[in-house]
Amino acid sequence: MKIIYEPKGAALEYAKLALNPYTGCVHRCIYCYNNGRFGKKGKFFERAGPRLGVTMDVIRDLRELRDRYGPDCPEIHISFLGDAYQPSEEHLGLTRLLIQQIINFKFPFTILTKSSLVRRDFDLLIPYPLFRLGFSFTSIDQTEVSTWEPGTGYVIDRISALKNFKNSRTKTWVSLEPVMSVKSTIAVIKEIHQHVDHFWIGALNHMDPPEPIDMVEARREIMAALEFRRCKYAFKSSFGIKTCPIETLTPRMGDS
């Protein structure tokens, strides 16, 4: 396949298949593992452009997946390489076009984003039973968010979008990765747990955290916060805990 691919390493814990509509990301998260992988540091943050020929390539890949899996295609994760809802998505509509194609093929998919722009696609996503929405959080403190993720806008908008989808009965999940501060991670859990079906927790491994983190104690404190609220969760292997790939929380077409 040309665009849809099978992730490797830690990414495989999230999904068996992945799709990245854009190259680059203007969110400028200081912990981004892609910064420096594609040229000099900072280049990845300069712009988020659509991948050349992505629409036709995705359609070809979806046909290949249909031939390979029939109706049992694994879930497709959008996106590991930057955010599928870049500011440019508002006028380009590339992500919207691609999810329309996935829906046409009746394949399961999930989106992980930091952007409330996903609400624009309510009409496509809310009725579709094979969709899960994921949001990424490191903090609910806007000062921390503006420092750690300076291009992502207001975290209150992210929380509002999460609530909107959950209230519309969409399956939701949240990536608490990376844990920049144990206190901030627990504050996120306290704020949004009622609107989340599943939490993923991952460690920071591309830079030193703003404050020292004892991994064993961090696991204990975060787990206690989740258990107290009866949350479903899994720690990624970056926390030193062996875990299975994320379960698919959406029903198949025709399921009750």
Q: Render pLDDT for 95-132 as a digit per residue (tens, 0 to 9).
A: 999 999 999 999 999 999 999 999 999 999 999 999 99
CATH topology for the 9-239 domain: TIM Barrel (3.20.20)
DSSP characters over 68-127? HHTT-PPPEEE-SSS-TT-TTHHHH-HHHHHHHHHHHTT--EEEEES-GGGGGGHHHHTT
Which burial class, exposed, middle or buried, applies to 39 when counting CB atoms under 10 A from its CB (0-12, 13-18, 19+)? exposed
For residue 140, pLDDT beyond 60: yes
pTM score of the predicted model:
0.89
Share of the chain above pLDDT 90, in %: 72
Query: The tokens of 163 are what?
Result: 């609530």
Query: The tokens of 134 are what?
Result: 């994921």
